[in-house]
Amino acid sequence: MMAVSRASEARLPEYAQVVAPAAEADEDSNEADARETDSYDELPASMKSKVMRLFGFGIPKHRLKQAVRTLNVPAEMVDSVDDADVLITSKSYYRQRPRIITDAEHNNVPIYVLRSNSSAQMESCLADLFSIDSAETVPYERAMEETEEAIKRVLAGDRLIDLSPQNAFIRRQQHERARAANLVSHSYGKEPIRHVRIFRD
């Protein structure tokens, strides 16, 4: 993901989302993980004071909305670049230089360019916008990429996929993604090797 200005493009570090501490859970289901609260419920006052207005261009807006909910950050989607604090777009759309992009640059609206339209990339973008420590977010991004790949494999015919052990916060996100894909997921094992299994009903 890149943040660009009118003068140049600057490559940013790779990030995703900060990982919450692992929590004790004994049940072999997703219920214990679903009860965990994520690490964004208590935002700093400086972040709560202003809702960031996001304009998505050439990207799946429903995924961006989901990323906002997942990270629990103070942001909302707007329908016009004129109302936006930030424009988020894909690499292919940015390179085409459409009117919306040039207007945003002319009005000094920051533009963030995603490497892909994946949920993990959108969460990485929001992590940067809200100054979430990038050094701590890499494990989350990798876990979400593993989850998306597992979902694709199960939908393509695999009977089940066991994901890598993760803490309770990440497992909760994995359960939500499996549910969104109309798949079933349960957690198995004890900390620190508790993990999610994804399969068809």
* Length in residues, the chain: 201
pLDDT one-digit tens code per residue, 1-23? 555 543 333 333 332 222 222 33
Please write the tens of the pLDDT for every residue from 87-125: 999 999 999 999 999 999 988 899 999 988 888 888 888
pLDDT at residue 167 is higher than 90: no
Highest mean pLDDT, choosing among 45-49, 65-69, 81-85, 137-141: 81-85
Domains contained in the chain, number = 1
pTM of the model: 0.51
Whole-number percent of the chain with pLDDT over 90: 45
| Mean of the per-residue pLDDT values of the chain | 76
Query: What is the distance between the alpha carbons of residues 1 and 156, in angstroms, rounded to a whole number?
Result: 29
> Which residues are CB-neighbours of 7 under 8 A, at least 6 positions away?
none
Domain that holds residue 99: 2-199
Structure tokens at 149: 């790949």
